[in-house]
Chain A
Amino acid sequence: MRHSVRAMELVTEMNNDVLVKDLETGYGTKAVIKGLSFRVKSPFFLIIMGPNGAGKTTLLRTLIGSIKPIGGSVVLYGIVPWKDKAKIRSIVGYAPQVINIREEVPVTVEEVVGMGLLSKLPPPRLISGSLKNLIKKYLNLVGLDGYEKTFFNHLSGGQQKRVLIASALIRRPKVLILDEPGSMLDFKVRCELSQLIEKIFQEGMADVIVTAHDIPPCLSIEPYLLLLNRDRYAFGRISEVLKKEILSKIYPGITESEGLIILGEDHVKP
């Protein structure tokens, strides 16, 4: 009887495409995130939101297998990321923060997008004619027709994010993981970028996980929201989580003024 209950639990767990249980993760033995649990089933659009230093990027790095958790477990589409990096990287399309990119290296848009696919293949990695056509298709998808030969560092912030999305998407991933795609962009560009990401999700091209400091604007769907600040978190649909009493636990600097809630950027001391 106990065995069948355990088997039922396992089946339930396997049905979740992202399963995070009692997760403790960070760098070395220093935990940034503690006691995090949530599960979500495909198709999903998940926003991971929290203040600076809350552990958003650390969680993403754990999800893509770059960090081995200190405790607890992470399973992505039935794969334990840190155990099977090759497999997890074949199903993930990841776009890092632009701030981590060395723009002085002269790389063209075509090269950035092309490497998205070529990195899945063995050397020699050359941009062939058929790959050029595929790159054009994905650049068209993100609204950057004719930018193939443009240097990445000659693009605006919003265009650079689109290139990174195309590079992640050309891999035909199961899940698109974007680290702060809206950072350092004005509202209009953030709005256009959110709509692009929503379109990718709505057309069933990939599940989406996005980190952000606040809710990406102009979304017409109601995504899942993981509010995170190190050892504190809340998870659910936006309407369930975006409540002042929950926000005030995640954002200690929260203030209310004339009916508006202003999120502080204070950290919670671990």
Chain B
Amino acid sequence: MNFIIYSTALASGLLAGAISPSLAYSRSILLGITLMHSVLSGALFGVFVTAVIGLPVTPALSAVLFAITFSILTAEAVNRGIPEDAAISLAVSVSVAISIIFTFLVALHVPLGVSAAMSYVFGISSVLTINDFLRVVISLTLVMPLAHLFWYEYKFISFDPEGAEAMGLSVRFYRYLYYALASVAATAIAMTLGVLLTHIIISLPGLFALRKKYVYPYRLSYLAGVTIVMGGYLISLPLSLPPSAGVGILASISLLYLFVGGKK
């Protein structure tokens, strides 16, 4: 059991490290809020349609689809001139409304429905199964190579979007591909650590690398991701806390170090 928990923690840390640099370098941390709220609404929608209607749409699949759809719609709205904060607020409002409606419906129709809903908010990091582990590993196998393959393009698009477009790079294609990868990664991590913590976990490693001005940030990003997630799991045991709480404590300390004590 412990092997599955720590292996999942390791894979989650690597997954966060793989997706985080592009998120931080493209200044899309705020967009992560949209991502996480849509993961929650998608997961709850999935719980409802699977348990009540009987459709074969798993919470993980609907969470990924919701996350991709909402992040692309938000980015399109920004492209069409709506201020970013307004577009994100709108997406979050719609996601929250969907979450509330489906939490209510799940609680109404599914025994223990509310606890299922809450598990997506706070995570199930102490009761992981082999399926949870496999979900994170499959996501990692998909996300890691593609994130590396297109890293140079992502960084250049973040650096000079106008120049990149003029050079013939399809800025829109790369952004949407990135949102798809981020959605897969965020969903996989959220299903174990919970939506609340996942936003921090996928932002922090990249922020470390950006703060240190690394040209190739992955070594630091992976190190930060694995250290925070694995370290969180390790410190939670003697404190008798759920592992995601330990991760949250370590993430908070890391953020404090990053912005107060971690000046380059």
CA distance A164 to B168 in the complex (A): 15
> Chain B 238-260, CB within 8 Å of chain A: the 1/0 string?
00000000000000000000000
> Quick one: which of B27, B163, B169 contacts A96, CB cutoff 8 A?
B163
The verdict on B53 contacting chain A, using a C-beta distance below 8 Å, is: no
Collect the chain A residues with CB atoms within 8 Å of residue B76's CB. Answer: none
Collect the chain B residues with CB atoms within 8 Å of residue A96's CB. Answer: 160, 162-163, 166
> Chain B 128-151, CB within 8 Å of chain A: the 1/0 string?
000000000000000000000110
Please state if A85 and B168 are interface contacts (CB–CB under 8 Å): yes
Q: Main SS of the interface on chain B?
A: helix
The verdict on B218 contacting chain A, using a C-beta distance below 8 Å, is: no
> Chain A 186-216, CB within 8 Å of chain B: the 1/0 string?
0000000000000000000000000000000
Please state if A105 and B153 are interface contacts (CB–CB under 8 Å): no
The verdict on A107 contacting chain B, using a C-beta distance below 8 Å, is: yes
Known A66-B166, A115-B167; contact A101-B215, beta-carbon cutoff 8 A: no
CB distance from A121 to the nearest CB of B (A): 10
Closest to A114 in B: B152
Please state if A94 and B159 are interface contacts (CB–CB under 8 Å): no
Please state if B166 and A94 are interface contacts (CB–CB under 8 Å): yes
Q: Kindly identify, within residues 207 to 234 of chain B, every residue whose CB is under 8 Å from any CB belonging to chain A.
A: 210, 213-215
> Quick one: which of B149, B169, B213 contacts A106, CB cutoff 8 A?
B213
Collect the chain A residues with CB atoms within 8 Å of residue B159's CB. Answer: 101-102, 105, 107, 112, 152
CA distance A194 to B163 in the complex (A): 21
Known A111-B152, A123-B153, A125-B152; contact A105-B25, beta-carbon cutoff 8 A: yes
The verdict on B165 contacting chain A, using a C-beta distance below 8 Å, is: yes
The verdict on A41 contacting chain B, using a C-beta distance below 8 Å, is: no
CA distance A173 to B163 in the complex (A): 15
The verdict on A242 contacting chain B, using a C-beta distance below 8 Å, is: no
Collect the chain B residues with CB atoms within 8 Å of residue A94's CB. Answer: 163, 166-167
Please state if A151 and B168 are interface contacts (CB–CB under 8 Å): no
Collect the chain A residues with CB atoms within 8 Å of residue B156's CB. Answer: 107, 111-112, 115, 119
CA distance A100 to B165 in the complex (A): 13
Please state if A89 and B214 are interface contacts (CB–CB under 8 Å): no
> Quick one: which of A66, A100, A111, A167 contacts B215, CB cutoff 8 A?
A111
CB distance from B219 to the nearest CB of A (A): 14
CA distance A64 to B163 in the complex (A): 11
CB distance from A173 to the nearest CB of B (A): 10
> Chain A 221-242, CB within 8 Å of chain B: the 1/0 string?
0000000000000000000000
> Chain A 63-103, CB within 8 Å of chain B: the 1/0 string?
01010000000000000000001100110101110001110
The verdict on B105 contacting chain A, using a C-beta distance below 8 Å, is: no
How many A residues, CB 8 Å from partner? 34
Known A89-B168, A106-B213, A108-B215; contact A100-B162, beta-carbon cutoff 8 A: yes
Looking at A95, A96, A115, A151, the one whose CB has the most chain B CB atoms below 10 A away is A115
Please state if B165 and A66 are interface contacts (CB–CB under 8 Å): yes
Collect the chain B residues with CB atoms within 8 Å of residue A107's CB. Answer: 155-156, 159, 215
CA distance A25 to B125 in the complex (A): 56
CA distance A169 to B166 in the complex (A): 13
Collect the chain A residues with CB atoms within 8 Å of residue B166's CB. Answer: 64, 66, 89, 92, 94, 96
Closest to B169 in A: A119
Collect the chain B residues with CB atoms within 8 Å of residue A106's CB. Answer: 210, 213-215
Please state if A104 and B149 are interface contacts (CB–CB under 8 Å): no
Please state if A124 and B149 are interface contacts (CB–CB under 8 Å): yes
Collect the chain B residues with CB atoms within 8 Å of residue A116's CB. Answer: 167
The verdict on A40 contacting chain B, using a C-beta distance below 8 Å, is: no
Looking at A89, A105, A124, A167, the one whose CB has the most chain B CB atoms below 10 A away is A105
Collect the chain A residues with CB atoms within 8 Å of residue B169's CB. Answer: 119
Collect the chain B residues with CB atoms within 8 Å of residue A164's CB. Answer: 163
Collect the chain A residues with CB atoms within 8 Å of residue B155's CB. Answer: 105, 107, 111
CB distance from B80 to the nearest CB of A (A): 9
Please state if B27 and A102 are interface contacts (CB–CB under 8 Å): yes
CA distance A26 to B205 in the complex (A): 41
Collect the chain B residues with CB atoms within 8 Å of residue A86's CB. Answer: 168
The verdict on A120 contacting chain B, using a C-beta distance below 8 Å, is: yes
Collect the chain B residues with CB atoms within 8 Å of residue A112's CB. Answer: 156, 159-160
CB distance from B140 to the nearest CB of A (A): 20
| Apart from A96-B163, A111-B156, A111-B215, 4 more pairs, CB < 8 Å | A89-B168, A105-B159, A107-B156, A112-B159
Can you name 6 A-B pairs with beta carbons within 8 Å? A92-B166, A102-B27, A102-B158, A106-B210, A111-B152, A111-B156
- Residues on A lying within 8 angstroms of B by beta carbon are 64, 66, 85-86, 89-90, 92, 94-96, 100-102, 104-108, 111-112, 115-116, 118-120, 123-126, 151-152, 164, 167, 171
Ranked 6 nearest A-B pairs via Cβ: A119-B167, A89-B168, A94-B166, A106-B213, A105-B159, A96-B162
